[in-house]
Structure formats: C-alpha cells, structure tokens
C-alpha cells in the first residue's frame, strides 16, 4: 500500500530523520513525516510503537521525562515562519502554547472550570484581568462546552463528566490560540456518545488548525482522518489517504497490521 494521494496542501509540520530515545533505548527511529494544515492526520499503531512519544517530540515535552535524547529535525510553520524547534532558540513556553496538546485522560488542574482556562491565560499569555472572561467564554464556545457549563463556571472542574472534561482540556488549549493541535487518544477514557462529541468537535476545528491525533480505533480513524500514518517499531510503516482508509481490502490489511 503506497500513498495514493500526495499531500496536496503545503505542509505545516516537517519531521526529518527523527530519533528519540529514553535512557539509551530508542523509541523513535529515523522517522520522517509531514502534516498539512486544515487536515486531521491520525496516527495508528500498536502500543509501544512510539505514537505518544512522536506527539511529544513536536512540543518538546519528551524533555520532561528523565533520560530523553532527541536527534533529527522537526520544523513547524508558526505564524507563517518555518521554525526548527530543536535548533532555534524558540522559547519552550512559546512553542508549547503554539503547539497545543490534549492528553489521553483529561489532565485537569484541581481548580474551578473557569480557573482551568484563566490560569494559563494569565500566566502564559500575560493577559490583563479584564480580557480573561471574554477569552474564557470564547474558548468554551469553540469547544462546544459553553452551554453546558455557563451557569457553573465556579464549580470544581472534576465535577464535569469525562467527555466534558476532555472538551474542557481542548478549550484550555484553544484559548491559548495554538496553530497546531496534538491530540493523544482523546477518547480513550470515554464512552461512545462522548467520543462522538469529541470527534465532531475535532472535525469542526480542522479548518483552522493542523491536527495530529493518535488513535487506537480504526473506525475512529475512518471517521476523522484525512490521512493516516501507520507506526511500526518507532517509524512510519505506511501512509494512507482518506480513500485508502475507506477501502475494504485496506481495512483487512490494517486490522492484521495493527491489532
């Protein structure tokens, strides 16, 4: 299965010869890939194939883990400019705000719903106090959460349901005005209906962001993906287009490959 559809949009993420290791054990091996804006690229692969490590290489979050070492180049187009994030002195805080990340399980701060969004706005963007409420509301609306939480913004964030918590995490990232969204199995901890809601949300966001999502579910990939990368042993085994994903024979091959 070769890529049948070339990437027709100018990419906004170019990864070349990426190696990532932890304590000498290589997790990503000579990985190259590119991602286009306005698309959702879904990364599929067995557990341990390096999917999450790859996402964390794009916002340099691997460096928060002991013994990590990264080689190769990751170039991102941020504000119309190509930045090589491992070579240029792009401040980490700036990078991580522009490349927003949503994790597998909702990583909430143990504070109120509003404060979950307000705190990063205040600390990372240095937004003046009076501008914060509008921005919080805007992000909650963008994440399709506003109507569900508007009357209880002071409530502790963990009182929300799992799906709502995950959308709150997404809202928190959106509030910081990112350009690239990294989404690590966002529905792993959710039931089917809540998952569908998060998927709808991602589809509605894809026009404005480059979205790279890790998924465990082939059917989810078929619903979301404009393109899919199959990871095997820390590098890209295959790249599939949307049409490839829908084709029944591909499906069978994929099932054997991944599961």
Contact residues: another protein, CB under 8 A: 59, 61, 64, 92-97, 100-101, 103, 105, 107-112, 114-115, 118-120, 122-124, 129, 132-133, 136-137, 153-154, 156, 172-173, 176
CB of 87 to another protein, least distance (A): 20
Task: Give whichever of 80 and 91 is closer to another protein, judged by the CB atom.
Answer: 91
Measure the CA–CA gap between 141 and 123, rounded to whole angstroms. Answer: 22
CB of 111 to another protein, least distance (A): 5
CB of 139 to another protein, least distance (A): 12
Task: Give whichever of 155 and 203 is closer to another protein, judged by the CB atom.
Answer: 155
Task: Give whichever of 57 and 95 is closer to another protein, judged by the CB atom.
Answer: 95
CB of 227 to another protein, least distance (A): 24
CB of 126 to another protein, least distance (A): 11
Between strands 180-184 and 210-214, the pairing is parallel
Task: Give whichever of 124 and 247 is closer to another protein, judged by the CB atom.
Answer: 124
Side-chain half-sphere of 168: how many Cα atoms within 13 Å?
A: 30
Task: Give whichever of 111 and 255 is closer to another protein, judged by the CB atom.
Answer: 111
CB of 114 to another protein, least distance (A): 6
**Cα torsion at 236, 242, 247, 248 (round to 10°)?**
70
* One-letter-per-residue 3-state SS of the chain: CCCCCCCCCCCCEEEEEEEEEECCEEEEEEEEEEECCCCEEEEEECCCCCHHHHHHHHCCHHHHCCCEEEEEEEEEEECCEEEECCCCCCCHHHHHHHEEEECCCCCCCCCEHHHHHHHHHHHHCCCCHHHHHHHHHHHHHHCCCHHHHHHHCCCEHHHCCHHHHHHHHHHHHHHCCCCEEEEECCCCCCCHHHHHHHHHHHHHHCCCCEEEEECCCHHHHHHHCCEEEEEECCEEEEEEEHHHHHCHHHHHHHHHHHC
Q: Scan for tokens 């913004």, then name that residue.
A: 153
Task: Give whichever of 111 and 203 is closer to another protein, judged by the CB atom.
Answer: 111
Task: Give whichever of 3 and 111 is closer to another protein, judged by the CB atom.
Answer: 111
CB of 133 to another protein, least distance (A): 4
């Amino acid at each position: 299965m070769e890529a049948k559809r070339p990437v027709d949009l100018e990419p906004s993420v170019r990864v070349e010869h990426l190696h990532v290791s932890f304590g000498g054990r290589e997790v990503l091996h000579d990985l190259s890939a590119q991602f286009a804006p306005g698309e959702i690229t879904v990364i599929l692969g067995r557990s341990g194939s390096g999917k999450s490590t790859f996402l964390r290489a794009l916002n340099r979050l691997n460096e928060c883990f002991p013994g990590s070492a990264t080689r190769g180049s990751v170039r991102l187009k941020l504000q119309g400019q190509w930045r090589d994030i491992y070579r240029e002195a792009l401040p980490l805080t700036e990078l991580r705000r522009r490349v927003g990340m949503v994790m597998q399980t909702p990583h909430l701060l143990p504070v109120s719903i509003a404060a979950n969004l307000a705190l990063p706005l205040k600390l990372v963007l240095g937004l003046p106090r009076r501008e914060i409420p509008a921005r919080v509301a805007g992000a909650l609306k963008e994440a399709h959460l506003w109507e569900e939480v508007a009357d209880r913004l002071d409530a502790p964030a963990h009182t929300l349901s799992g799906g709502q918590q995950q959308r709150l995490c997404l809202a928190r990232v959106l509030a910081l005005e990112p350009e690239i969204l990294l989404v690590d199995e966002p529905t792993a901890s959710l039931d089917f209906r809540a998952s569908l809601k998060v998927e709808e949300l991602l589809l509605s966001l894809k026009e404005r962001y480059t979205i790279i999502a890790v998924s465990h579910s082939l059917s989810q990939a078929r619903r979301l993906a404009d393109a899919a990368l199959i990871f095997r042993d820390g590098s890209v085994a295959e790249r599939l287009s949307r049409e490839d994903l829908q084709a029944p024979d591909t499906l069978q091959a994929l099932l054997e490959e991944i599961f």
